Structure 1
Amino acid sequence: MIPSIPQSGAVKLIYKAYVLVFFLWLALPLATVVVFAFNDSQFPSLPWQGFTWGWFFGDARPQIGLFHERRILSSIGTSVFVAIFVSGLSVLVGTTNAFLFNRYSFPGRGLLYILMLLPLVVPGIVLGISILVFSSRIAGVVQDASGLYVDALRPGLVLVIAGQFSFITTIATLVISARLIKFDRSLEEAALNLGATPLTAVRTITIPYLLPALIGAFVVAFLMSFENFNTTLMLVGSDAPLTITMFDRLKEGSTPVLNAVSLLLILGSSVLALAMIALQRR
């Protein structure tokens, strides 16, 4: 609805109803997950059996709580490790990419930019399969030629990090580039005129200006890595991140402990998003 265009009362009412229904559609599944995390039942479904903290802190069957599930806690640690690694690499490479595409002109620049964006339009499962087939083929060639078994080229955390990095770094590049475009380069030129080296000018002027975008790119990359499933599923080894562990548990039969995990993920994502918004406002 465009505010500058006069609207009848009926149109305004329909628009408000649409907005209400839209947000209810988004919120109801999350609210359902949250509610059944506290249901005193072995199944995350109706009828309501009463309130309990057992799916968080229970230590005896049938209610083994989240904080006593070693497999889930281990997978959370694995996901955090992968997400931090992927986010750090993505911000580092994304920053260099942003400078490359915004500061320099060279033959093939447009083609290279398109290639950088390509992972965003390739389905995650296809991307994962492609990386797995490529790395397995390289590992086989190396093993046939030298007899060495290269564990990093087999399914495992190294390939998971490589697979997630291949498309998350594109997101980081776009986030950082959007702020770098607005930067007034005359500030760098003034620093150079005052005797600063190009590296010093970038380090003391440009990077502080980019800091909100760098932090925002890190948070976005962290959340995308933490919740990634399709690409990770194709590349995972014995150390499974949280999304794969939850998928395996669903195949065995869902329990409210998965609702408890989901509630923690909702809270964690919300805290990170709010912190990023507060930092950018400052």
Structure 2
Amino acid sequence: MFGDGLSHVFIDAYSHEEEDFASKNAAQLDKWVFEKVKKYFQQSTHSSNATELLKEDKVVFFLHLLGLDTNGHGNKPHSKEYIDNILVVDEGIKEIVELFENFYGDNRTAYLFTADHGMTDWGSHGAGSDDEIETPFVAWGSSIAQSKLKRVVNQVDLAPLMSSLIGIAIPMNSVGILRLELLDVQSKMKYQAACSNLKQMVEQYSIKREERKRTALPMMFREYKGFAPVILQRVNSEVSRLVDSRRFDAAAALCLEWIPRARDALIYFHRYHRVLLRIREPT
């Protein structure tokens, strides 16, 4: 799913048949994941190739823990099986963090822990209740700002956050907005991350705008109010002026101010040809 055709992505997963080994205890699925990570690091002591891969820059480990989901659906979130599975995951995360810190020893690893969905008391999801759409998100480690405050973070915002943490371009089609307050980095790096997010969002807007303009009759085309190329030029000029004055915090704040506007403009053109249907009730 994640690594088709990508030479730099390495995947290890149990098959559907192997998944049966956890039919009586779904927590075994999560233990399997943790053990696989441990074994890979152990192999690096005997394999120079494995060591080289682990020592490369911008390495990302993605651990999918299916046991909690399975126990939530099958045994319900308040069951003993589910609570025991939480303890398994807690202990597994503790061991993996210790493994990473001992192996790298440079305090440069960031950790993100979250879920793809919530769940009702009866083990379902798919509707729009808070129990189903709210998920935990915990971040710690390198470049993560320490805070005891609870914050609301949209799942789509994780893409620009992860990209900024490892120093790569934000995914082309991401509509996430960087949560700059989660980063503990220098002001210049905050500006660079925010600027990258703004440019990425504006590029999507520009492409979608040109597509809609090209297919619309000239007299029928309607710009998105408050966000047009001429306005963007003024924003870019102001950002450049702030950067030249080394006012990186102000430049980052200005970028963050315009990212949501760019996304609104993108959504406007994404839905430009959408037809609204009005269904008449029977008389």
Pick the TM interval, shorter chain: under 0.3
TM-score, normalization by structure 2: 0.26
Indicate the structure with greater helix content. 1
Could you say which structure has the greater relative contact order, defined with CA pairs below 8 angstroms and 6 or more residues apart?
A: 1
